[in-house]
Amino acid sequence: MTKLSVNVNKIATIRNARGGDVPSVVQVAKDCERFGAEGITIHPRPDERHITTKDVYDLEKVVTTEYNIEGYPDERFMKLVEETRPAQATLVPDGPDVLTSNAGWDTIKHKSQLTEICKQLSEWGVRSSIFVDTNPDNIKGAKEVGVDRIELYTGPFADNYEKDKDAAIKDYITAAELANQLGLGINAGHDLSLVNLAFFKNSIPNLEEVSIGHALIADALYYGLEVTIQKYLELLK
């Protein structure tokens, strides 16, 4: 079964709109796990517009499943990872001014940087994952930098799913088959939802984990958090 990691950034966004601690990011993370989620994902951006530095350390104390911290691997990010030692660090190429992750790494151009970072993560006992598109060269490059897993950026798939789902998934299947051949683990994330998740999961061989935040939290406004998580888990069976 593909694991579900819930991204709780949006919970922090709602909290920050009023200040204080309502809703509590820590409590929501604990409840997500209680309701069946197998991981908690956060993206602590430098401007702290959602997840704050304090959240990173507070969550480290309570997450009992897989703690996944994603972000651009600058000095601040690496310090957070070193001090909290999450199960996984997911490296994304976007800078602090980007609204949301919207592209994968050019693993050839950034080979030296990524190789050094993946080596450091390995020494800390943290599984490494990097955001990539379906370009075969970038997936081959991911293998060369020594990363443990790739996370397929599924934005283009989600954008084109309702137009032609078979065309939308084609390059992802090819990318996943290549990753399997290279011995890379496969994660996926960005705009996966109750509408498109089952088709994506059933099409991708050996999909280990999906990270879902925006759609899941939006669905929870209608169904409630527990029911929503169960709906997503059912699609991943």
Position 211 scores a pLDDT of: 98
Tokens standing for 60? 């480290």
Question: Mapping DSSP to helix (H, G, I), strand (E, B) and coil, where does residue 100 land?
Answer: coil
Residue 187 and residue 204: Cα distance in Å, rounded? 10
What pLDDT score does 1 carry?
87
pLDDT tens readout for residues 110-149: 999 999 999 999 999 999 999 999 999 999 999 999 999 9
Does residue 81 carry a pLDDT above 60? yes
CA atoms within 13 A on the CB side of 212: 30
Positions marked active-site: 43, 70, 190
Q: Which two tokens stand for residue 45?
A: 């951006």
Q: Where are the domains of the chain?
A: 3-236
Q: What dotted CATH number matches 3-236?
A: 3.20.20.70
Which tens digits make up the pLDDT trace of 153-197?
A: 999 999 999 999 999 999 999 999 999 999 999 999 999 999 999
Task: List the structure tokens of 209.
Answer: 């984990």
pTM of the complete model: 0.95
